[in-house]
């Protein structure tokens, strides 16, 4: 695009769209045309969509780039569009009260966006935008100038490790697969829930990475494995694949080298286990997604028994950077053994929820307080769940630990595929562990005993504790069960399933014991263990609580302290929220 | 050492096995028993039950999947491994109806054996149990999915051996269940292979229900009387009545039968069954001896041939006769009677 053109970028990631981004973009186009902006300012102006730039809590986000200076508006609604066009785009005066605040800058300042870089900058449906950002140059370089072994060498030098959970060395995996006997090989890109922003914001990077991977291992066919339900990701990737095919980057005789590489989609259903690589292969083959036994490993015998490399979409997205900039360059980011960056969805009780990319090794403190802007309502941080449902809970005392493969493994957690949930003093740790175990129980494929029945028994025991029926012996039973599950389950799901319990029990033993010995939930979450009562000395007899109570459990005459009948109370907490004088006690 | 062999040590004893042999197979060859619930020698590896774990390099590994590597040291029953095995069996039992006393498979159940071995009277891990209603209307297979331990053998045998694929896994997590598509009634070939491989009482033969369990029966090795194939068959017999048909893996049938052999034996004791020849006398069928009957047939055949020639006679034989019997029959017709009018019910 010409330098003096006016750019308007509307976030149309999942969150941007959900917040009404489509309509905002339509109105921008409409007003730009109706006001005759191009004619009036004598410059090109075409509003475009971009992928997620991470700061999802303030969507719809809109960038207006005028004379090289970028202004970002937050929480843009359709009725704000006309004024932005008139005052800012035409008259050149940004509307200060609508622009992003300081937190937007601090949210981005500590991040290191190499993979997410183009997301939120380029139009994900335009291959020209991608090419303008050096897109497909890495693939061209790899395929026309490098031997497959050299490509693998660069990936090994980079130190890149899998971003899908296992953290296995990517170059090493490719080397083994390349060396595995067989003419027919496959490359598979595993596009999971957390990869959706990548697929929506910069789909070409995934395709380019898979293409280079296919070339490196000697495959002629690649699969983009994705849940059918991720409509926007599927749509953007399909458009990107079609464009790449038109330009000859996918198909026969790529870059005139005689290298053929086809790519096709394979759709999974909504099951967590579909992301596990051997279950994924079963799914591609048209069978029920249930993990296979290993050996044989996929690199030797994967899809239809052929050597297969499976990598996460984020792993593949790093490949064009590594080939383009060199493995050496990449290996300078991160720590000694964990190289590069990691994309996370930061959520929970943190101020700035969203999608972040940090260099490996960044301390949790910086993530939560620097990027995340601290805890909502200045409450106390309790812990951070990292690595998805079967990750571990990191307590406040470990805030200065760096986020990398080694440190997380040491505390019984995993980097996982990139979820990070922040809990504060109002979250009950037993309840949190129960939530994750229940999820894993539902998502277990049901094949092996320790996982299928173990997750059930563990969630039952956690439920028992949250209901105030727990006994100390239950804790020993759970530890014993955790040992069986972790050591004997067939796949990673069952093996990591005890993590939420083990790590939380390890770091929050007192909270477990409070539930069991004192029958109290310190965070005031477990309804069976809390009682609401009126503090007579603070009660002003205003009657608000009485009106709020849906169970008619509160009585009180005017000027008399009110009383809650514990028999009738359903523990909904309506009175607690209604009282203006903090006269309701929750204990 | 031969090139294609590897030497490993199992429980302190050295052995050489061909490359690619699993630890389970190697141990079995040495007479070392490792418990299994999902593994079946005729089916591909499943890796579902996890009770065949052994210790290799301090780590628990399933022996049905682990392949022998040169120098491997394997311990099949350390206290650590036995503890894990016990807990796995405990978990299975925590989701199993405790009704061995009325179960068809009591005394012949692989799960019961392990419960006995680990002396699990009440599981340590306790909780909800799957409750299903039995509702299959088919006449052959009783499916009690509460007793199913999801070993997957039935799914595999139906797919890999029988090539039918009538059943598969459905649902996820604790609710996972083996069933026909859309949980309809089973409507398949009813070969009964699935019953044959089921380690528990989840799949049993309906015609045999309540007629006798392992300790009450006499077993008789014989040849299936149903057709001319001559399958080896094992009958469970109670008071001179065949109550169940099975196939042993160490016979020519390798454990497999068809629907007729498996379920089609009620004719043996049927009151409708003919046990002597009948001759029509004065319009009534009257029991007769074999000599009398054969004499009569010979006499009448001769008469017909003399009066109208051999081609006035035709012979139809049965698929339930053996090859040899059928050979003799056509010989009788061609060489004895002198006609080519001979056919067979299975010739279509
Ligand atoms: C239960 C389970 C779910 C998984 N889900 C995903 C997923 O959604 N995306 C993913 O890339 N890897 C997932 N994995 C990890 C994959 O099995 C595999 O290790 C990964 O795709 C390899 O790619 P990488 O080396 O690039 O990380 C999952 C693993 C397990 C055990
Ligand atoms: S560990 Fe769980 S998800 Fe994995 S194979 Fe076993 S039952 Fe399935
Ligand atoms: S009886 Fe035979 S065809 Fe029917 S489900 Fe069992 S194995 Fe399959
Ligand atoms: S029905 Fe029997 S053979 Fe089939 S999975 Fe269940 S226990 Fe195994």
Angstroms from A490 CA to nearest CA on chain B: 7
Separation between Cα atoms, residue B184 and residue A192, nearest integer Å = 33
Classify A393 as helix, strand or coil: strand
Separation between Cα atoms, residue A403 and residue A363, nearest integer Å = 6
Same domain flag for A278 and A234 = yes
Q: What CATH number is associated with residue A396? A: 3.10.20.600
Give the right CATH number for B212-273 from 3.50.50.60, 2.20.25.90, 3.40.50.300, 2.40.50.460. Answer: 2.20.25.90
Using CB atoms within 10 Å of the CB of residue B2, give its burial: 0 to 12 exposed, 13 to 18 middle, 19+ buried: exposed
Residue of A274, A290, A446 for testing the chain B interface, max B β-carbons within 10 Å = A446
Q: Answer whether A355's CB lies under 8 Å from A344's CB.
A: yes
Sheet holding A62-66, edge to edge: A45-50, A6-11, A62-66, A69-73
Q: What is the average pLDDT across A489-493? A: 96
Q: What CATH number is associated with residue A85? A: 3.40.30.10
Structure tokens at B233: 């068959």
Is the CB of residue B92 less than 8 Å away from at least one CB of chain A? yes
Q: What is the average pLDDT across A532-553? A: 92
Using CB atoms within 10 Å of the CB of residue B130, give its burial: 0 to 12 exposed, 13 to 18 middle, 19+ buried: middle
Q: Which residue of B has its CA nearest to A479?
A: B125
Considering the domain boundaries, does residue A121 fall inside one?
Answer: no
| CB–CB contacts below 8 A, A to B | 110
User: How far does residue B148's CA lie from ligand 4's centre (Å)?
Assistant: 5
User: How far does residue B152's CA lie from ligand 4's centre (Å)?
Assistant: 6
Q: What is the average pLDDT across B12-20? A: 96
Q: What is the average pLDDT across A417-423? A: 89
B195 in ligand 3 pocket by Cβ < 6 Å? no
Same domain flag for A55 and A144 = no
Q: Answer whether A368's CB lies under 8 Å from A441's CB.
A: no
Separation between Cα atoms, residue B115 and residue B123, nearest integer Å = 10
Which residue in B60, B126, B150 is closest to A488 by CB distance?
B60
Q: Which of A5-14, A279-288, A289-298, B65-74 has the lowest mean pLDDT?
A: A5-14
- CA A275 remoteness from chain centre: 14
Separation between Cα atoms, residue A295 and residue A236, nearest integer Å = 36
Separation between Cα atoms, residue A421 and residue A385, nearest integer Å = 5
Q: Is the dihedral of CA B300, B306, B312, B314 positive or negative?
A: positive
Structure tokens at B105: 């498979």
The tens digit of pLDDT for each residue in A387-417 reads 889 899 999 999 999 999 999 998 888 888 7
pLDDT at A558 over 90: no
Same domain flag for A491 and A553 = no
Same domain flag for A159 and A184 = yes
Cβ of B87 and A484 within 8 Å? yes
Q: What is the average pLDDT across A19-26? A: 93
Cβ of A450 and B88 within 8 Å? yes
Which residue in A441, A453, A488 is closest to B95 by CB distance?
A453
User: How far does residue A485's CA lie from ligand 2's centre (Å)?
Assistant: 10
Same domain flag for A163 and A274 = yes
- CA A478 remoteness from chain centre: 29
Same domain flag for A172 and A303 = yes
Is the CB of residue A534 less than 8 Å away from at least one CB of chain B? no
Q: What is residue B228's predicted lDDT score, i.e. its pLDDT? A: 81
Q: Answer whether A200's CB lies under 8 Å from A16's CB.
A: no
Q: Answer whether A549's CB lies under 8 Å from A574's CB.
A: yes
Residue A537 pLDDT grade (very low, low, confident, very high; cuts 50, 70, 90): very high
Separation between Cα atoms, residue A50 and residue A46, nearest integer Å = 13
Q: Which residue of B has its CA nearest to A494?
A: B173
Same domain flag for A44 and A186 = no
pLDDT at A312 over 70: yes
The residue behind tokens 């894990």 is: B84
Residue of B174, B177, B181, B199 for testing the chain A interface, max A β-carbons within 10 Å = B174
The tens digit of pLDDT for each residue in A145-202 reads 999 999 999 999 999 999 998 899 999 999 999 999 999 999 999 999 989 999 999 9
- pTM, 2 dp: 0.92
Cβ of A457 and B169 within 8 Å? no
User: How far does residue A276's CA lie from ligand 1's centre (Å)?
Assistant: 5
A317 in ligand 1 pocket by Cβ < 6 Å? no
Topology of domain B138-210 in CATH is Alpha-Beta Plaits (3.30.70)
Q: Which ligand is nearest to the CA of B186?
A: 3
Q: Among A331, A362, A386, which residue terminates a domain?
A: A331
pLDDT at B2 over 70: no
Q: Answer whether B26's CB lies under 8 Å from B15's CB.
A: yes
Separation between Cα atoms, residue A451 and residue A468, nearest integer Å = 25
For ligand 2, which residues put their CB under 6 angstroms from it? A 273, 291, 444-448, 451-452, 489-491, 493-494
Q: What is residue A315's predicted lDDT score, i.e. its pLDDT? A: 97
User: How far does residue A441's CA lie from ligand 4's centre (Å)?
Assistant: 21
Comparing CA positions, the residue from B110, B186, B185 lying closest to residue B153 is: B110
Cβ of A487 and B84 within 8 Å? yes
Q: What is residue A492's predicted lDDT score, i.e. its pLDDT? A: 95
Which residue in A444, A461, A480 is closest to B172 by CB distance?
A444
The tens digit of pLDDT for each residue in B239-260 reads 999 999 999 999 999 999 999 9
Residue A3 pLDDT grade (very low, low, confident, very high; cuts 50, 70, 90): low
Residue B348 pLDDT grade (very low, low, confident, very high; cuts 50, 70, 90): very low
Considering the domain boundaries, does residue A114 fall inside one?
Answer: no
Separation between Cα atoms, residue A443 and residue A542, nearest integer Å = 49
The residue behind tokens 């010979």 is: B298
Same domain flag for A319 and A187 = yes
Comparing CA positions, the residue from A312, A107, A303 lying closest to residue A189 is: A312
Same domain flag for A444 and A577 = no
Nearest-atom index, ligand 4, CA of B147: 7
Separation between Cα atoms, residue A182 and residue A89, nearest integer Å = 59
Cβ of A450 and B91 within 8 Å? yes
Same domain flag for A318 and A351 = no
Max mean pLDDT range (A26-40, A495-509, A530-544): A495-509
CATH 2.20.25.90 residue ranges for chain B: 212-273
Comparing CA positions, the residue from A567, A585, A465 lying closest to residue A530 is: A585
Backbone dihedral region for residue B57 (phi beyond 0: left; psi -120 to 50: alpha; all else: beta): left
Which residue in A293, A446, A481 is closest to B65 by CB distance?
A293
8-state DSSP, B22: B
Is the CB of residue B312 less than 8 Å away from at least one CB of chain A? no
Classify A424 as helix, strand or coil: strand
8-state DSSP, B66: P
Cβ of A452 and B45 within 8 Å? no
Same domain flag for A285 and A142 = yes
Q: Among A490, A518, A546, which residue terminates a domain?
A: A518
Structure tokens at A350: 């943190």
Backbone angles phi, psi at A514, to 5 degrees: -60, -40
Cβ of B125 and A457 within 8 Å? yes
Q: What is residue A2's predicted lDDT score, i.e. its pLDDT? A: 44
Which residue in A273, A442, A488 is closest to B84 by CB distance?
A488
Q: Among A424, A450, A467, which residue terminates a domain?
A: A424
Same domain flag for A377 and A237 = no
Tell me the residue range of the domain where A279 lies.
127-331
Separation between Cα atoms, residue A16 and residue A75, nearest integer Å = 10
Considering the domain boundaries, does residue A120 fall inside one?
Answer: no
CATH 3.30.70.20 residue ranges for chain B: 138-210
Separation between Cα atoms, residue B182 and residue B188, nearest integer Å = 14
Report chain A residues whose CB lies below 8 A from the CB of B62. 293, 488, 490
For ligand 4, which residues put their CB under 6 angstroms from it? B 148-154, 178, 197-200, 202-203
Q: What CATH number is associated with residue A582? A: 3.30.70.20
Report chain A residues whose CB lies below 8 A from the CB of B149. 449
Which CATH code fits B2-91?
3.10.20.740
Number of domains making up chain A: 5
Q: What is the average pLDDT across B128-133? A: 95
The tens digit of pLDDT for each residue in A340-361 reads 999 999 999 999 988 999 999 9
Which residue in A293, A441, A453 is closest to B47 by CB distance?
A293
Q: Which residues contact B221 (CB under 8 A, 6 or more apart)?
A: B232, B233, B234, B248, B251
- Residue B308 is inside which H or E element, if any? helix B290-308
Q: What is the mean pLDDT of chain B?
A: 95
CATH 3.10.20.740 residue ranges for chain B: 2-91
Mutate-to-test residue for ligand 3 from B181, B192, B196, B204, highest number of ligand atoms within 8 A of CB? B192
Q: What is the mean pLDDT of chain A?
A: 94
pLDDT at B203 over 70: yes
């Amino acid at each position: 695009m010409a330098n003096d053109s006016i750019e308007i970028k509307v976030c149309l990631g999942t969150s941007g769209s959900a917040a009404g981004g489509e309509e905002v973009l339509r109105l921008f186009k409409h007003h730009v045309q109706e006001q005759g902006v191009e004619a009036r300012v004598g410059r090109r102006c075409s509003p475009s969509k971009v992928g997620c730039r991470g700061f999802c809590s303030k969507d719809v986000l809109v960038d207006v780039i005028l004379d090289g200076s970028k202004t970002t508006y937050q929480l843009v609604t359709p009725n704000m569009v006309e004024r932005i066009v008139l005052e800012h785009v035409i008259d050149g005066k940004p509307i200060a009260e609508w622009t992003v605040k300081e937190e937007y800058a601090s949210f981005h300042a500590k991040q290191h966006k190499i993979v997410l870089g183009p997301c939120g900058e380029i139009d994900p449906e335009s291959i020209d935008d991608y090419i303008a950002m050096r897109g497909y140059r890495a693939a061209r370089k790899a395929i026309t100038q490098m031997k497959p072994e050299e490509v693998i060498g660069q990936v090994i030098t980079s130190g890149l490790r899998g971003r899908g959970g296992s953290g296995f060395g990517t170059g090493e995996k490719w080397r083994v697969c390349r060396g595995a006997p067989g003419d027919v090989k496959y490359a598979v890109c595993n596009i999971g829930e957390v990869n959706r922003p990548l697929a929506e914001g910069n789909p070409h990077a995934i395709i380019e990475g898979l293409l280079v991977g296919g070339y490196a291992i000697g495959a002629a066919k690649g699969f983009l494995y994705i849940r059918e339900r991720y409509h926007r990701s599927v749509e953007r990737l399909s458009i990107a694949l079609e464009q790449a095919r038109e330009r000859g980057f996918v198909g026969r005789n790529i870059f005139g080298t005689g290298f053929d590489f086809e790519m096709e989609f394979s759709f999974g259903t909504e099951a967590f286990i579909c992301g596990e690589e051997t279950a994924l292969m079963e799914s591609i083959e048209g069978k029920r997604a249930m993990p296979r036994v290993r050996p044989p490993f996929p690199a030797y015998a994967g899809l239809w028994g052929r050597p297969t490399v499976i990598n996460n979409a984020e792993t593949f997205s790093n490949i064009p950077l590594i080939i383009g900039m060199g493995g050496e360059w990449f290996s300078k980011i991160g720590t000694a053994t964990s190289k590069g960056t990691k994309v996370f969805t930061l959520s929970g009780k943190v101020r700035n929820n969203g999608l972040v990319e940090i260099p490996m090794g960044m301390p949790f403190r910086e993530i939560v307080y620097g990027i995340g802007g601290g805890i909502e309502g200045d409450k106390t941080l309790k812990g951070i769940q990292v690595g998805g449902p079967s990750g571990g809970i990191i307590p406040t005392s470990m805030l200065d630990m760096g986020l990398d493969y080694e440190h997380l493994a040491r505390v019984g957690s995993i980097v996982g595929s990139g979820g990070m949930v922040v809990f504060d003093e109002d979250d009950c740790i037993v309840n949190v562990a129960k939530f994750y175990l229940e999820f894993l129980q539902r998502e277990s494929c049901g094949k092996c005993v320790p996982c299928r029945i173990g997750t059930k028994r563990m969630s039952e025991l956690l439920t028992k504790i949250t209901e105030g029926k727990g006994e100390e012996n239950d804790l020993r039973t759970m530890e014993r069960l955790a040992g069986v599950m972790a050591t004997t389950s067939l796949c990673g799901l069952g093996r990591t399933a005890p993590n939420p319990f083990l790590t939380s029990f390890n770091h929050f033993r007192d909270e477990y014991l409070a539930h069991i010995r004192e029958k109290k939930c310190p965070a005031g979450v477990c309804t069976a263990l809390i009682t609401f009562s009126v503090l007579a000395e603070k009660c002003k007899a205003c009657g608000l609580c009485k009106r709020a109570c849906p169970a008619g459990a509160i009585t009180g005459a005017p000027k008399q302290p009110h009383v809650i009948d514990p028999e009738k109370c359903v523990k909904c907490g309506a009175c607690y929220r209604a009282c203006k004088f903090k006269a309701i006690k929750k204990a | 050492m031969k090139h294609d062999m590897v030497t490993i040590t199992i429980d302190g004893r050295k052995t050489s096995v061909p490359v690619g042999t699993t630890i389970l197979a190697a141990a079995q060859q040495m007479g070392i028993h490792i418990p299994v619930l999902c593994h079946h020698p005729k089916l591909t590896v499943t890796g579902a039950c996890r009770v065949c774990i052994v210790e290799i390099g301090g780590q628990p590994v399933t022996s049905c999947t682990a392949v022998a590597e040169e120098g491997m040291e394997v311990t099949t029953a350390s206290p650590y491994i036995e503890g894990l095995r016990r807990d796995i069996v405990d978990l299975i039992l925590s989701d199993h109806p405790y009704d061995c006393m009325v179960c068809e498979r009591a005394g012949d159940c692989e799960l019961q054996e392990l419960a006995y071995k680990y002396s699990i009277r009440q599981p340590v891990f306790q909780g909800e149990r799957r409750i299903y209603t039995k509702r299959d209307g088919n006449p052959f297979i009783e499916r009690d999915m509460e007793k199913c331990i999801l070993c997957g053998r039935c799914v595999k045998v139906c797919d890999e051996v029988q090539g039918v694929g009538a059943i598969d896994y459905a649902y996820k997590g604790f609710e996972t269940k083996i069933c026909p598509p859309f949980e309809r009634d089973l409507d398949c070939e009813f070969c009964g292979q699935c019953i044959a491989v089921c380690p528990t009482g989840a799949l049993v033969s309906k015609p045999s229900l309540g007629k006798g369990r392992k300790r009450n029966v006499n077993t008789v090795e014989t040849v299936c009387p149903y057709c001319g194939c001559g399958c080896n068959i094992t009958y469970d017999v109670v008071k001179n009545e065949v109550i169940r048909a099975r196939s042993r893996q160490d016979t020519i049938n390798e454990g497999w039968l068809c629907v007729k052999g498996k379920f089609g034996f009620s004719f043996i004791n049927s009151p409708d069954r003919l046990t002597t020849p009948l001759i029509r006398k004065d319009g009534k069928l009257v029991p007769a001896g074999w000599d009398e009957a054969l004499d009569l047939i010979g006499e009448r055949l001769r008469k017909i041939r003399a009066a109208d020639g051999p081609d006035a006679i035709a012979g139809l034989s049965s698929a339930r006769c053996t090859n040899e019997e059928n050979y003799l029959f056509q010989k009788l017709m061609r060489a004895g009677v002198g006609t080519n009018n001979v056919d067979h019910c299975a010739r279509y």
